[in-house]
Amino acid sequence: MPPIRVEVDGATYEDDVEPRLLLVHYLRDRLGKVGTPVGCDTGNCGACTVLMDGLSVKSCSVLAVQADGHDVTTVEGLGAGGAEHPMQRAFHEEHALQCGYCTPGMIMASIDLLRENADPSEAEIRDGLEGNLCRCTGYQNIVRAVRRAAGEMRRPAEERATAEEREATP
């Protein structure tokens, strides 16, 4: 079995894996990274989306061996020092999730979308998230959340920190 070395959410793992092992099963079953769920087996639903070297991939469509030497970020690795990522906060604020099963993948895909386009229009968000299916929300609040997070992430870091302080004060 080929050995792989993968960085996942800031920790390094070395494992021998079957060549056919899917990245999502490696994450879930070997590393206990169960924050990334599986929604289908054909790469359609996007629930298992993670970032590999910053780019979104559907981890059911990547073999664990293909992640060798790469840096994987899952929803569990978002946010520095326990603070939520602006995208996570925006999903909460805009009620962009109901059952929450698609949410990890939707959040990761949305982050990648903003990497490519920091200020997407409503239509660009809808097109950009075409590969991620949600059965609960009808997408409207997901679109709102991505727009909100985009606004948040475009603001200079300083201004953001002050705003956060203000919000934290009751």
Partner 1 sequence: MTVEEVGAPRRRVEDARLVTGRTRWTDNMAPAGTLYVAFLRSPQAHARITRVDTARAKERPGVVAVFGGADLAEEQGSLPCAWVVTEDMRHPEHPPMAVEEVRYVGEPVACVVARDRYAAVDALEDIDVDYEPLPAVVDMEEALAEGANLVHADLGTNASYTWVFENGDLDAALRDAPVVLERRYVQQRLIPTAMEPRSVLCVPEGDEFTLYSATQIPHILRLMLATVTGIPEHRIRVVAPDVGGGFGSKLQVYGEEVLALLLARRLGRPVKWTETRSEGNMAVHHGRDQIQRLTLAAERDGRIRGLKVDLLADMGAYLMLVTPGIPLLGAFMYNGIYKMDALSFTCTGVFTTKTPTDAYRGAGRPEATYAIERLMDELAAELDLDPIEVRRRNWIGHGEFPYETIAGLTYDSGDYESATEKALQLFEYDKLRAEQADRRERRDPVQLGIGVSTFTEMCGLAPSRVLGSLSYGAGGWEHASVRILPSGKVEVVTGSSAHGQGHETAWAQIAADRLGVPFEDVKVLHGDTAVSPKGMDTYGSRSLAVGGVALYSACDKVVEKARRVAAHLLEASEQDLDFSGGRFSVRGVADEGRTLQEVALAAFAAHDLPDGIEPSLDSDATHDPDNFSFPHGTHLCAAEVDTETGMVTLRSYVAVDDVGKVVNPLIVEGQVHGGLAQGIAQALYEEAVYDADGNLTTTTMADYLVPSAADLPVFVTDRTETPATTNPLGVKGVGEAGTIASTPAVVNAIVDALRPFGVRDVPMPCTPERVWRALRAEEEPDESEPGAGGGLGSADGGLGPAGGGSGSAGGAR
Please, how many CA atoms are within 13 Å of residue 170, restricted to the half-sphere of its CB?
0
Nearer CB in complex with partner 1: 18/116: 18
26 lies in the binding site for partner 1 (CB under 8 A): no
Nearer CB in complex with partner 1: 61/71: 61
The Cα 5–Cα 120 span in angstroms is 35
Interface pattern 35-64 for partner 1 (x via CB under 8 A): xxxxxxxx-xx-x-----------------
23 lies in the binding site for partner 1 (CB under 8 A): no
Q: Give the number of other CB atoms < 10 A from CB of residue 75.
A: 24
As measured in angstroms, the least distance from the Cβ of 157 to partner 1 is 21
Helix (H), strand (E) at residue 73 = strand 71-73
Nearest to 99 by CA among 146, 144, 47, 143: 47
Q: Contacting partner 1 (CB under 8 A), which of 53, 116, 119, 130?
A: 130
Nearest to 109 by CA among 26, 39, 157: 39
149 lies in the binding site for partner 1 (CB under 8 A): no
Please report which residue ranges of the chain form alpha helices under DSSP H: 23-25, 86-93, 103-116, 122-128, 140-154, 157-168
122 lies in the binding site for partner 1 (CB under 8 A): yes
List of residues contacting partner 1 (CB under 8 A): 18, 20-21, 25, 28-29, 34-42, 44-45, 47, 74-76, 78-79, 84, 88, 91-93, 95, 97-104, 107, 122, 125-127, 129-143
